Amino acid sequence: MQEIDRAEQAYAGCIADIQESLSTIGLLPNNFEILLIAYKEEDILKLYAKEKASESYRFLMSFPVLTRSGTLGPKKKEGDKQVPEGQYRINRFNPKSKYHLSLGINYPNEYDQAQQYTGSDIFIHGGTETVGCLPIGDPAIEMLYTLASLAKANGQEEIPVYIFPFVLNADAIEKLKLEYPIETILRWEQLAILHSQLQKQLK
C-alpha cells in the first residue's frame, strides 16, 4: 500500500481556504511571507502575513494551543517540560511527524546556548500531547504547515517564530516580580523591548 503523503494531502485540503484568507488582506499565494507569535499564558499562536516587499505584517489567523506544558518562564534544560521563550525561526518541516505534521524551531538558539540551556526537538505540531512543544491539533497544523511550505517555496528563507510568556509590558511584569526569580524577570524585561519593537511591524 502506498504511504499517504500528509503534506500533499494537507495542501489539497487547505489551499482553497488559504487563497481566500490571503485574498482578504490583499495577498497572493505566490507573494507573501509569514511571521508567528505565540503567547503561552493565552494559549494562542497568531499568524501574520505581508507582501515580500512590505515592512508591515497584517493579522491573518490564529490557532489555539490545545495543551500547555510547563509554566511561564524560559526552557533551561532537557526534560524540564518548558516551552522556550524568545525569538526563533522554523528550521525543519516534518511531514512524517508522530503528531501528524510538525514544524521545528531552532531551540536552543544563540541566546539559549550562551545561557547553557539544553534541550532539543521543540515543534509546533498536530495532536494535543506535548512536552515543551506547541500542539495546535491536526486541522490547524495542516493549515499552518501548508502556509509555511508555500512561503518557503516562494522564497522566504527564514520564518520567524516569537514565543512570549504573555503580552509583555512593564505593568504586567511588575505584578509578577515577587513570584518569579530575578533572572526570569530580567529576561522578560529584555523580551518586552523585543515585543514593543515587533508591534511596530504589525497592523
Cα separation, 6 vs 141, whole angstroms: 11
Residues annotated as part of the active site? 125, 133
Cis-peptide, bond into residue 160, ω within 30° of zero: no
Q: Provide φ and ψ at 37, rounded to 5°.
A: -130, 125
Which phi and psi (to 5°) does residue 202 adopt? -105, 145
Write out the three cell numbers for 176.
Answer: 509578577
Between CA 150 and CA 22 the distance in angstroms is 12
- Considering Cα of 169, then 171, then 174, then 175, what sign does the dihedral take? negative
Q: In what order do the strands lie in the sheet with 33-39?
A: 58-64, 44-50, 33-39, 160-164, 86-97, 100-105, 123-125, 134-135
What are the phi and psi torsion angles at 36 (to 5°)?
Answer: -120, 140
Question: Which H or E element spans position 146?
Answer: helix 138-153
